[in-house]
Amino acid sequence: MSKKTLMASFVEREKLEGLLNKLNENFGIPKDKIFIYEKINDNTIIITFKLKNNHNSHYKYLLPNTISIHKKGSTYYTINALNNIIRLNNKDKIGNINYKSVKVNWGDYENQFLITKKGKLFIYDLKRIFN
């Protein structure tokens, strides 16, 4: 069995069906293996799915608004966002932070997507959409 990477694509609501079809046609991902979320107070849809690692080399061409992500409970995050959270929660500590030893209270980030853009942390509230 080949390894898979958790991915997230960002799409406008009116382009969702086309993206779902593209995932199925190009990567063999059925709709029941794709999870759809809306950013609360926004028209952007975030879909999550697992991509086989042998597809990782060409997904950026077919899926330009797609990134690799991680999940803990109901929280989705990028590594850079996690590092920002750790820095924010440990700003009173002097010296270097051992990022691997820091515990994150994931309950503080339930049903949220943590991402960085140009070094700035963004936290989006998510609501699951059932298709």
Which pLDDT tens digits describe the chain residue by residue (131 residues)?
Answer: 578 999 999 999 999 999 999 999 989 999 999 999 998 778 789 999 999 876 556 677 788 899 999 999 999 999 999 999 988 887 766 667 776 777 889 999 999 999 999 989 999 999 999 86
What confidence score (pLDDT) does residue 92 get? 65
What confidence score (pLDDT) does residue 32 get? 93
Q: Token digits for 38? A: 């809306």
What confidence score (pLDDT) does residue 6 get? 96
Please answer whether residues 51 and 7 qualify as being in contact, where contact means their C-beta atoms are separated by less than 8 angstroms: yes
What confidence score (pLDDT) does residue 94 get? 61
Q: Token digits for 11? A: 């799409």
What confidence score (pLDDT) does residue 131 get? 65
What confidence score (pLDDT) does residue 80 get? 95
What confidence score (pLDDT) does residue 95 get? 66
What confidence score (pLDDT) does residue 101 get? 73
Angle at 98 between CA 119 and CA 71, to 5 degrees: 60
Q: Is 24 exposed, middle or buried (0-12, 13-18, 19+ CB in 10 A)?
A: middle
Domain residues of the chain, as ranges? Answer: 4-129
